[in-house]
Amino acid sequence: MNSSPTGVGRRAFLGRTAGVTAGVTAGAALLNTLPTAPASATSRDDASHPVRTQSGLVTGVPAALPGVTVYKGIPYAASTAGENRWRAPQAPPSWQGVRKADTWGAACPQPVTGIAADKVPPLSEDCLNLNIWTGAGSSPARRDLRPVFVWIYGGRNSAMWASQPVYDGANLAAKGAVVVTYNHRVGAFGNLAHPALSSEGGHGGSGNWGVRDTVAALKWIRRNIAAFGGDPERVTLAGWSHGSSFVNILMISKLARGLFHRAVLSAGVQYTKDPALGHVAGGYAQLAAAEANGTAFATYMGASSLSNLRALTADEIVTKVYAQDAPATATNFGNVLDGYVLPKSYTAAMTSRTEYDIPVLTGNNKDENGASPTLTMTVAAYEAYAATTFGAQAADFLALYPATTDAEAAAQYNDYARDEERVSTFLWGTQFRVTAANRSPVHTYWWTHVPPGHDTTNPIEPADGVGAYHGAEKYYLFGNLYGTDRPWTAADHAIADRTSSYVANFAATGNPNGHGLPTWPALRTSKPVAMELGDHFAPLPAADTDAKYAFLKGYLESQATDY
């Protein structure tokens, strides 16, 4: 059965294949007629001026901030229904006259049970659409073109759509970027691999349909974004969690080479031998395993051929995949090492020096990777974990992270998990610079600030009490606190302004630093540090002590499995 995770750390949040919101459970129905939120009443002259794309003319509407226009729901590829299901995205439709881009596009099919109806957009297989925010004075003149920031949503097959308020791009547009968010196929629609699909596609592999949608969106942006004032030669591809895994794949794949020029991997990347990659969104399945899952899926769906599978309705697929008694062996959909979209493993990309050499900004959060402010653990359980995880080095681990009471056990486990996360990110950065011999800078961060209260406007967000959880930095990266209902403080607004300025600078130049901002040093392979963002803005060590760093580095480097 695919069940919803109850935690929000990386291990709990990403270790399963179901929705991210408690209550996203069996028999999820597709909702097709729900209203979307009204556009902002803020006036802007540019909103009514048609912009020419290769498909036709579009007009936008005023965005959430003055001086910014948003264009909603522009198709970048054709419907994925029928014969286009589990095929590469096809060319977008054209239209006559002027298309009013004033309504969010449909999201791709996924479970929505347990999510408030007013938070769910229409769902349809005709879902490959994008949204663009651009500021006043944006011009297609070459000297005036602005950097482009393309965002990929995160999650795990539910609450995955680009129109959530947490992804609103008005603030970054006001800071000089052209922001694009887009919808792509998810779950069975976005990741099904099957021997017949591998044969049909002509590349010897299948799966990764959502990544291929991303390539199609980037190609659309390449052809059209200048009309919105964006520079096709300065495109930042960014995403969190699941979205970060797409960025990671496309830094290896040849399919998007040259279509983006900087990368933001938020919550984030791991060292390529980190055991966490076996169960987080950044991992992948081998093609044979993914095809076996696809074969079992076809049997479970009662389909004897691809045509039978394509004849099923989207509702049938969603309902059965997320049914309470759905077999795990037929409903496990994630990224695939297919030999085409993802041509080689993460380690092989580093060692063969084929990793895309572009500036990278990446980081992780304080309360993920198993860490939690509410963690409880007995000394016995802590010692058993140490023995299972570190084997002969368990005594060394316990000497570095000692615990004699249950409270100490929980606190020491948190300290260890947080250290290991930072060490893993730093080791990835050293691979990028040393193993892959790349010259571009890497800037790493460690997010520590806890968003206040609870956000009911975004179904992917957890309830209170989970600390600086997996993905908590999204609000601040965008600086879009205005679009949500958390009880933001003056400190939150200051943190968001500073963090989003780093992002805007990185999109513009490949360097997050700028006037008035605390200096964020680029990664130096001889100095294991990260930049703390959130409660403070300053470098901090990758681990609390040199001895802890040496131990965790040795542990990660000694792992037998290369991802």
Q: Residue 37: what pLDDT?
A: 32
pTM: 0.91
Of residues 47 and 256, which shows the higher confidence score? 256
Q: What is the pLDDT of residue 142?
A: 66
Centroid of chain to Cα 231: 23
Catalytic site residues? 241
Q: Per-residue pLDDT for 31 more than 70?
A: no
Q: How far is CA 433 from CA 215, 255, 303, 373, 430, in A?
A: 25, 22, 48, 34, 5
- Write out pLDDT tens, residues 62-97: 999 999 999 999 999 999 999 999 999 999 999 999
Structure confidence at residue 465 (pLDDT): 81
DSSP assignment string, 43-71: --GGGGS-EE-SS-EEE-EE-SSTTEEEE
pLDDT score for 17:
30
pLDDT digits (tens, 9 = 90+) for 499-524: 999 999 999 999 999 999 999 999 99
CA gap 69, 58 in Å, rounded:
12
Quote the pLDDT of residue 285. Answer: 96
Q: What is the mean pLDDT of residues 26-42?
A: 30
- Regarding predicted confidence, which is higher, 472 or 282? 472
182 pLDDT more than 90: yes
Q: What is the pLDDT of residues 195-232, one digit of tens each?
A: 999 999 999 999 999 999 999 999 999 999 999 999 99
Say how far apart CA 156 and CA 160 lie, in whole Å: 8
Q: Tell me if 491 sits within 8 A of 288, measured CB to CB.
A: no
Q: What is the pLDDT of residues 320-352, one digit of tens each?
A: 999 999 999 999 999 999 999 999 999 999 999
**Which pair of structure tokens corresponds to residue 299?**
């049997």
Distance CA(281)–CA(278), nearest Å, equals: 9
Predicted confidence (pLDDT) at residue 61 exceeds the cutoff of 50 = yes
Q: Sorting pLDDT into bands at 50, 70 and 90, what band is 39? A: very low
Rounded Cα–Cα distance for residues 327 and 305 (Å): 20
Those residues whose C-beta lies under 8 Å from the C-beta of residue 349, and which sit 6 or more positions away, are: 251, 252, 355, 436
pLDDT of residue 136: 82
Please state the rounded mean pLDDT for residues 251-265.
97
- HSE toward the beta carbon, residue 295, CA cutoff 13 A: 9
What DSSP element (H or E) covers 152? strand 146-152
Residue 306 CA from chain centroid, whole number: 30
Q: What is the 3-state secondary structure (H, E, C) of 303-352?
A: CCCHHHHHHCCHHHHHHHHCCCCCCHHHCCCCCEECCCCCCCCHHHHHHC
Task: Answer whether 224's CB lies under 8 Å from 53's CB.
Answer: yes
pLDDT > 70: percent of the chain: 91
Q: 372 and 466 in contact (C-beta within 8 Å)?
A: yes
- 469 pLDDT more than 50: yes
Q: Are 336 and 292 in contact (CB under 8 A)?
A: no
* Token pair belonging to 368: 């993920």
Instruction: State residue 460's pLDDT score.
Output: 83
- In angstroms, rounded to a whole number, what is the distance separating the alpha carbons of residues 156 and 513? 32
In contact, 255 and 535? CB cutoff 8 Å: no
Q: How far apart are the first and last CA of the chain?
A: 26
The three-class DSSP label of residue 551 is: helix
Model confidence pLDDT, tens digit, residues 371-409: 999 999 999 999 999 999 999 999 999 999 999 999 999
Mean pLDDT of 115-144: 89
pLDDT computed for residue 158 by the predictor = 85
Q: What is residue 513's three-state secondary structure?
A: coil
Q: What is the mean pLDDT of the chain?
A: 91
